[in-house]
Chain A
Amino acid sequence: MATQLALEQEGSQSTAPPGRSVSPGRLLWRALWRRRIARAALIYILFFYAVGILAYPITRALGLPGYKTQNLDLSRADPSWEHPFGTDRLGRDQLSRVIYAARTTVVITFITALTGGLLIGPGLGLLAGYRGGWFDSLINRLGEVVSSVPELLIVILLAATIGPRLNDKIAEWYGVPGVGPLLKEGYASLFVIYVVLTFTSWVGGMRLIRALTLAVRATDYVLAARAAGAGTWRVLLRHILPNISYIIVLGVTASFGAVALAEIGLSFLGLGVRPPTPSFGTMILENFRARDLDQYPHLFFVPAFFAVALLLSFNLLGDALNDVLNPRTRHR
């Protein structure tokens, strides 16, 4: 409700002609776009995701060698016209690897944030909050168990134990036409990261959405809908969900950044994306040691720059969204 009000205030400043109703989504978008920092962050995020999605055509168009094409004669070459970011220890083109690392980030953030952050967490929260009873207690106890161990510990434990098993299982599919080559390219290890991150990340979203659902459930219009004979799903999807959808948007935005960060951490520990597939975590791991850093600083700083810029953009966007949706803590 506060959310609705905040958006209306934002909207009233805009040039919307009076009398015509503007959807809350549009109001939110306008309020965001008017903030210069949020706009810059959004543009960088869009650029990053476009590069990640179009990794193959872009590298082809630029005439770059593939991310795993080795050239040992050109090990750790300095940046040049041919290799703008230089080459790594195995003589692989660093620009090509940065572009494919963006693709890795795009894939892992999309699948994890959309299922864990959008479907599983809020979905369980909605159901637990609305249904109550044994389902509510079960979900909450499960959440308590997961959150009673430090998150990083669970993630490492799962990645180190389930990870190799899952990878072995997936390796059996390498021969399957169509899917096999994709799995071999390293998408299998992305799936492992996805499972591990989803296991811990649903709890926060579930708790938040459950609390909000409890509040909305107590309103008169939900009572009216139920009195009119609406079933559980109808009430949830038509009456409760639209009222809390902005909070879910906020949560998903935050989880994109968190997932990108977690992938960097896991890959840095050698538990994430497997070589030769590039990711920002593995590229940092390959080039962060003091001796390499001394002689070839660009091999570390260039990928680190693109990764940090993405994380910063998500932070700034999340802050701007928060500002728009929570007028009480706004910077004014």
Chain B
Amino acid sequence: MSGALPFIIRRLLAAIPVLFLVSAATFALGRFAPGDPVTVRTGGKVSPERVEAIRESLGLNDPVPVQYLRYMGKFLRGDFGESYRRQGREVSEIIFPKMWVSAQLNVIPFFLAYLIGVPLGIYSALKRGSWQDPAITSILLFLSAVPTVVWIPMLVYVFVLRLDLIPTVGWNGIFSTSIILPIFVLTIGSFAGVARVVRISMIQVMGEDFIRTAHAKGLRSSTVVSRHILRNSLLVLANGIIASLFSLYAGSLFVELGFGIPGIGREMFEAISGRDYDLFMALTMIGAISFILANLVLDIIYTIIDPRIRYA
């Protein structure tokens, strides 16, 4: 494990300019957008003098770089600012409950995607050369060709409107029937990708020389699969886990909008379209920071599970 600490420090230092650029670009974009946050906040029913006074008190009349430095100063001290649309409410007070909703919504699809995708990928790879492998691939291609915004109305039409099996759409907590369709859509969106990655990785490992050696020395096929092929091919899943976590972070947006679930994806979308500066700055920054940290953790995990990979 030598070299881990300098590696981590180097990566964290390299993240600083990236975060600076992301935050500056997001901030500038927000200010560049048409529409005035004070008008949004006051609902347009206030005299121009009053609007000007509010602008002054919020510091919106200062040059944009000054506003940026002031915002970042507060951000680094853990103060994410205030929502413009919902008067007087702290950003952190708004986003953490919504993140909790999204986390609950995504946890089941996350595990289901792997529970279905991994065995399916393994099966498909082992059945290579027979009809099952191309059949599974075709079904997966079909499932992943249907966009989320098409799945949602299709399922609502069949299960809610025609069969009347599921009474409501919306958010009633994780232990209610209305969560079944959102979970279904989110799972469909990700398990096909998992299965495909597992299949390709398995097939690549199956072509290696040591697999031939294992067969040649008389090991049973099941032993070769479980001890030699699986172990070496599931490494790619570590990468996929982080990727799917983040596709869930942003990807549940359509599901939240389509089913009327008050999660973080929908909040982000509404914050951006409603010019809620502080709110979407906070969301972008939290997203970018966790993305960079997650990738760092991933690189460290790689060196632990595969000793051939060294810190570079």
Q: Give chain A's interface residues, CB within 8 Å of chain B.
A: 37, 141, 144-145, 148-153, 156-158, 160-162, 164-165, 168, 261, 264-265, 268-271, 281, 284-285, 288, 290, 293-294, 297, 300-301, 304, 307-308, 311-312, 314-316, 319, 328-329, 331-332
Most chain-A Cβ atoms within 10 A of its Cβ — which of B148, B150, B268?
B150
The answer on a CB contact under 8 Å between B141 and A319 is yes
The answer on a CB contact under 8 Å between A290 and B272 is no
The answer on a CB contact under 8 Å between A157 and B29 is yes
The answer on a CB contact under 8 Å between B33 and A165 is yes
Contacts of A319 in B (CB 8 A): 137, 141
B40 on the interface (CB 8 Å rule)? no
Contacts of B312 in A (CB 8 A): none
Write out, one digit per residue, whether chain B residues 137-156 have a CB within 8 A of any chain A CB (1) or not (0): 11001101111111011101
Contact residue among A270, A271, A281, A294 (Cβ-Cβ distance under 8 Å from B149): A281
Contacts of A312 in B (CB 8 A): 141-142, 145-146
The smallest C-beta distance from B132 to any residue of chain A, in angstroms, reads 10
The answer on a CB contact under 8 Å between A148 and B269 is no
Contacts of B203 in A (CB 8 A): 328-329
Contacts of A153 in B (CB 8 A): 250, 268, 283-284, 287
Contacts of B191 in A (CB 8 A): none
**Which chain B residue lies CB-closest to A152?**
B250
The smallest C-beta distance from A191 to any residue of chain B, in angstroms, reads 17
The answer on a CB contact under 8 Å between A297 and B34 is no
**Which chain B residue lies CB-closest to A156?**
B272
Contact residue among B137, B150, B273 (Cβ-Cβ distance under 8 Å from A331): B137
Contact residue among B18, B29, B129, B147 (Cβ-Cβ distance under 8 Å from A311): B147
The smallest C-beta distance from A32 to any residue of chain B, in angstroms, reads 15
Q: How many residues of B contact A (CB 8 A)?
A: 61
B291 on the interface (CB 8 Å rule)? yes
B160 on the interface (CB 8 Å rule)? yes
Contacts of A290 in B (CB 8 A): 156, 160-161, 169
Q: Give chain B's interface residues, CB within 8 Å of chain A.
A: 17-19, 21-22, 25-26, 29-30, 32-35, 128-129, 133-134, 137-138, 141-142, 144-150, 152-154, 156-157, 160-161, 169, 199-200, 203-204, 207, 246-247, 249-251, 253-254, 257-258, 268-269, 272-273, 280, 283-284, 287-288, 291-292
Alpha-carbon separation in the docked complex, A315 to B139 (Å): 11
Contacts of B146 in A (CB 8 A): 308, 311-312
The answer on a CB contact under 8 Å between A160 and B22 is no
Contacts of B251 in A (CB 8 A): 152
**Which chain B residue lies CB-closest to A331?**
B134
Contact residue among B22, B149, B157 (Cβ-Cβ distance under 8 Å from A149): B22
Alpha-carbon separation in the docked complex, A17 to B152 (Å): 53
Can you give 13 contacting A-B residue pairs, CB < 8 Å? A148-B291, A150-B287, A150-B291, A153-B287, A156-B268, A161-B30, A284-B149, A284-B153, A300-B153, A300-B157, A308-B145, A311-B146, A312-B145
Using known A-B contacts A157-B284, A268-B254, A315-B144, determine if residue A307 contacts B21 with beta carbons closer than 8 Å. Answer: no
**Which chain A residue lies CB-closest to B146?**
A308
Alpha-carbon separation in the docked complex, A303 to B280 (Å): 33
The answer on a CB contact under 8 Å between A261 and B33 is no
The smallest C-beta distance from A120 to any residue of chain B, in angstroms, reads 19
The answer on a CB contact under 8 Å between B34 and A165 is yes
The answer on a CB contact under 8 Å between B22 and A145 is yes
Contact residue among A152, A168, A288, A331 (Cβ-Cβ distance under 8 Å from B153): A288
What 3 A-B pairs come out closest when comparing CB atoms? A312-B145, A161-B33, A150-B250
Alpha-carbon separation in the docked complex, A285 to B152 (Å): 11
Using known A-B contacts A149-B291, A293-B153, determine if residue A156 contacts B269 with beta carbons closer than 8 Å. Answer: yes
Contacts of A157 in B (CB 8 A): 26, 29, 272, 280, 284
The smallest C-beta distance from B312 to any residue of chain A, in angstroms, reads 14
Contacts of A161 in B (CB 8 A): 29-30, 32-33, 272
Using known A-B contacts A150-B250, A153-B268, A161-B33, determine if residue A329 contacts B204 with beta carbons closer than 8 Å. Answer: yes
Alpha-carbon separation in the docked complex, A240 to B270 (Å): 47
Contact residue among A149, A285, A301, A332 (Cβ-Cβ distance under 8 Å from B129): A332
Contact residue among A141, A294, A308 (Cβ-Cβ distance under 8 Å from B161): A294
The answer on a CB contact under 8 Å between A160 and B273 is yes
Contacts of A314 in B (CB 8 A): 145
The smallest C-beta distance from B227 to any residue of chain A, in angstroms, reads 22
Alpha-carbon separation in the docked complex, A264 to B19 (Å): 30
The smallest C-beta distance from B232 to any residue of chain A, in angstroms, reads 15
The answer on a CB contact under 8 Å between A150 and B154 is no
Alpha-carbon separation in the docked complex, A288 to B137 (Å): 29
Alpha-carbon separation in the docked complex, A293 to B152 (Å): 11
Contacts of A288 in B (CB 8 A): 149, 152-153, 258
**Which chain B residue lies CB-closest to A264?**
B147
The answer on a CB contact under 8 Å between B128 and A332 is yes
The answer on a CB contact under 8 Å between A265 and B34 is no
Using known A-B contacts A157-B26, A164-B33, A315-B141, determine if residue A261 contacts B128 with beta carbons closer than 8 Å. Answer: no
The answer on a CB contact under 8 Å between A331 and B133 is yes
The smallest C-beta distance from A271 to any residue of chain B, in angstroms, reads 8
Alpha-carbon separation in the docked complex, A158 to B33 (Å): 9
**Which chain B residue lies CB-closest to A314?**
B145
**Which chain B residue lies CB-closest to A168?**
B34
The smallest C-beta distance from A31 to any residue of chain B, in angstroms, reads 16
The smallest C-beta distance from A280 to any residue of chain B, in angstroms, reads 9
Extra inter-chain contacts (10) besides given A284-B150, A293-B157, A328-B204, CB under 8 Å: A145-B21, A150-B287, A156-B268, A160-B273, A161-B33, A161-B272, A162-B33, A264-B149, A288-B258, A290-B161
